[in-house]
Amino acid sequence: MSRQDPGRPDTTPNGNADLTQRATGGGLDTRTAILRSARTLLEQHGYHGVGLAEVARAAGLSRQTVYLHFGSKRGLLLALVDWVDQVEGLEELLAVARSAPSAVAALDALVHLTAVYTPRIYKLAAVLEVARRSDPDFDAAWQDRMAHRRRNMGAVVKWLADAGDLADGMSVKSGTDIVWTMLSVHLFEDLVVDRGWSTERYQAFVEDVLHHRLLPPDLG
Amino acid sequence: MSRQDPGRPDTTPNGNADLTQRATGGGLDTRTAILRSARTLLEQHGYHGVGLAEVARAAGLSRQTVYLHFGSKRGLLLALVDWVDQVEGLEELLAVARSAPSAVAALDALVHLTAVYTPRIYKLAAVLEVARRSDPDFDAAWQDRMAHRRRNMGAVVKWLADAGDLADGMSVKSGTDIVWTMLSVHLFEDLVVDRGWSTERYQAFVEDVLHHRLLPPDLG
DNA sequence: ACCGTACTTTACGCGGTGTCAAGTCTTTAC
DNA sequence: GTAAAGACTTGACACCGCGTAAAGTACGGT
């Protein structure tokens, strides 16, 4: 943590009046406290439903502290994305997919990863979606992260191609486009969140479509 | 084109009290002028990139006039949706699909309709997407309109089922879910807008997936 | 004792939504 | 011919969110 509370001034015009936890010995530092409350509130009320004042209050801090740490709402969101991916263990899950025994297994692992991971982050993804369309600068930064995600998928499709497991006439680029689209958060939201499908059914559906579209007839 | 212009009762999508449109010799009444500039500006700068003041200015009117006609930004957006669907001739396109000679033809017509219609409205759809996630009241009204769209798709899938053209184990509900998802604006955006596919390729892809998933093996 | 760090308080400027009240101009109705 | 009704304008205000600025306060280390 950092400093302590000077005196719990309470009744600040800024709107704190909270009971500030921030366990000094606990281990949560200020930055994490902000990220935690930001995530909770944003997932609950959406991008425009939460102001930085509210985030700060929930973290037991002043509004300015948020600006001190993240510079802007955009900065907070960007940091939030990285933090959540780290907290939710995205890298570990990706490592599993990369260590698959075959190209087809890697593709299936990618689908499985998505079915497991998306439920953890789709609410935040909805927030980011709005942020993208509200803030061009955020959108630019977001595209970078998405390009990274696309490269992961492209690598698997390339693997398929090199192993001769890609259907005739299917280029790596087209295949990647299809994987990208079928594994998008949008599609998960449509099927699982809005239409009530189970993640198992979602996974089976996506896997089936990808197999039929990407693999040669004998494998699909 | 401000205050003169006598009667000329026209379609009032909103169904509000005073229907009173005015058509100068030119033909565009105030309401339409607002809708037109709103559409242009919103598609260009997004939901939060345009204020009602700017919309009004572009229409050559005062900000209050917008409130007089639509009550709020939400009201304007809702009216805009109806107006655009009417201007773009959605009903006519739907009639074509409904008059298809067979269930499978109707399904294909639905896909074709989407491939033709979505390019005209996907920019506005992005705006509405943000509005939905920023304004719960708008979201509620939006769900109504989407339910209507879903019923159209459900009718076609029901037609398939009644004609015995639905794959074994595929319920009307599941089939409708799949059609809904594959014809979503999101999927169009991913493939055509973001990944640069032609609408023909998009259409062929969606049609293929739907045929393979929905129709029995001999037809798919 | 001193300085740097972390956080707080208070105060602006800016821009957007939504509301109110009064005023202008034009058409319609008596 | 005048009065009422309709359509739109002007100007002002409350409220809230973002972002910035400038002091001020508490603590830790040297």
Residue A51: give its domain's CATH number: 1.10.10.60
User: Is B201 found in the same domain as B92?
Assistant: yes
Q: Quick check: is A108 in a domain?
A: yes
Domain that holds residue A50: 1-72
In the predicted model, is pLDDT for residue A97 greater than 70? yes
Q: Quick check: is A78 in a domain?
A: no
Which chain A residue's Cα is nearest to B44? A133
User: Is A100 found in the same domain as A60?
Assistant: no
Nearest-CA distance from A47 to chain B in Å?
A: 7
Task: Identify which of A130, A190, A208 has the shortest CB distance to residue B180.
Answer: A190
User: Is B130 found in the same domain as B38?
Assistant: no
**What long-range pairs does B74-79 form, CB within 8 A, spacing at least 24?**
B74/B131, B74/B135, B74/B137, B74/B138, B74/B141, B75/B14, B76/B34, B76/B35, B76/B38, B76/B52, B77/B127, B77/B128, B77/B131, B77/B138, B78/B14, B78/B138, B78/B141, B79/B13, B79/B14, B79/B35
In the predicted model, is pLDDT for residue A85 greater than 80? yes
- Reported as a pLDDT band with limits 50, 70 and 90, residue A218 is confident
Q: Quick check: is A79 in a domain?
A: no
Helix (H, G, I), strand (E, B) or coil at B202: helix
Which chain D positions have some atom within 7 A of a protein CB? 6-11, 16-22, 25-27
Helix ranges, A16-135 (H): 30-45, 52-59, 63-70, 73-87, 90-98, 103-134
- Reported as a pLDDT band with limits 50, 70 and 90, residue A219 is confident
The residue type at A208:
D
Tell if B6 CB is < 7 Å from nucleic strand C. Answer: yes
Digitized pLDDT (tens) for each residue of chain B, 220 residues in all: 444 333 333 333 332 323 333 433 233 699 999 999 999 999 999 999 999 999 999 999 999 999 999 999 999 999 999 999 999 999 999 999 999 999 999 999 999 999 999 999 999 999 999 999 989 999 999 998 999 999 999 999 999 999 999 999 999 999 999 999 999 999 999 999 999 999 999 999 999 999 999 999 987 6
Structural domains in chain B (count) = 2
Predicted TM-score of the model (pTM) = 0.87
Task: Identify which of B49, B129, B181 has the shortest CB distance to residue A191.
Answer: B181
User: Is A119 found in the same domain as A200?
Assistant: yes
Which residues, at least 6 apart from A73, have a Cβ–Cβ distance to it below 8 Å? A52
Q: Quick check: is B220 in a domain?
A: no
Tell if B18 CB is < 7 Å from nucleic strand D. Answer: yes
